[in-house]
Amino acid sequence: MSVIDYGNDTDPLSSANIINQLIVISAVAPALALVFVSARFYTARSVLRTIHKDDWLILPAMVTAIVFSIFIIVMTKYGLGQRLGYLGKHGLWKPIGKKFVLLSGFGAALTSNVATLFTKCSILVFYLRFSTSRYFTWTIYTILGIVIVANTLGALHAFFVCQPMKRFWTGPGTPGTCWDQHAWYAWLIIMNCVTDGILLVLPAWILAPLRVGLSQKVGIAAILGTGGFVVGVSILRVVIMETTKEMEDMTYRFAINYFWTTVEMNVAIVCACAPCLRPLLAQYFPSLVSLGAPRREPASLYTLPVSQVVARPSPRTDQVDTSESTMELTSNCQTFGSPPRSSTHKEAPV
């Protein structure tokens, strides 16, 4: 690390900080996400009376997001959000620098990547409920593998990015080598942005077999595609990373990144929970989610008839085979299904 010019003590930027903004976002963002997670479990348990794998996967994401926010608040006591020049000028950096690096590399990096990992796994497992083809299923599994590998490497990077490992927090004072950490973080953020983009377009594959009107497809896409809306924040993080990469001001630069990481992480949790809340809204506010369903069929607030699934040609004959696709869609899509009822009319939930 090069010698840092601490600048002029009269420079107004030398004492500027964003500590208050960090504390506020670290308190508000996970609180909002926790409301959605609680509503999701209430819906699963009280409305649908079944809790799926994707519901359970969002729990560790929520817990680690909260722990990440705690780390951020604690790190403000060790310089996060302040100008590094100000800390060095007043002799504050030396006694806290090591703790800052350890909290950043081990605490914040671990929890942020674990939260992102479980959030995306929850979204992808949720999409599996709507699978009507083996290609879609294998695509989901492939993306799951990429997400698991990328976020696991991101969470554990502090253990292997420097050799010997202690050089990560001692710096050039310890003989050894370290990877280009800017390139490493850039790869992680770009990979995260790419997977967010994939999550945004996957619902189009789910909508393909549905023979419904444009307005209905838009409504369903809005419900299923909320998990990918966080891609906007991911792109913003890429831009911020590139515009601040030349800053030697580590404590301030990290603070900007952590601010938007907190936003992205908790917005992703909200988006992962939003599609699962449709049955809850349909129970209390049916007019908001009817998607054109006829008033005489309350169950249609939760489902779409199987007749709206486009039949796929059978590979063995020229005849149309509708049984397999409709049965798959009926058996795999349960979240938007109506509560148990005695009617024998079969519908495919969406």
* Digit-coded pLDDT (tens) for 144-154: 999 999 999 98
**CA-to-CA dists, residue 198 to 21, 41, 126, 140, 158, angstroms:** 31, 26, 14, 10, 28
What's the CATH number for 12-280? 1.20.1070
Tokens linked to 165? 């490992």
**Rounded mean pLDDT of 26-31?**
96
Structure confidence at residue 285 (pLDDT): 75
Q: What pLDDT score was predicted for residue 350?
A: 42
Q: Where are the domains of the chain?
A: 12-280, 296-349
What residue type is assigned to position 316 of the chain? Answer: R
Q: Could you tell me the sign of the dihedral formed by the alpha carbons of 127, 129, 132, 136, in that order?
A: positive
pLDDT score recorded for residue 307: 38
Rounded distance, CA 153 to CA 160, Å? Answer: 9
Gap between the Cα atoms of 68 and 2, Å rounded = 29
What mean pLDDT comes out for the span 232-249?
80
Q: What is the pLDDT of residue 26?
A: 96
Q: Looking at residue 44, what DSSP letter applies?
A: I
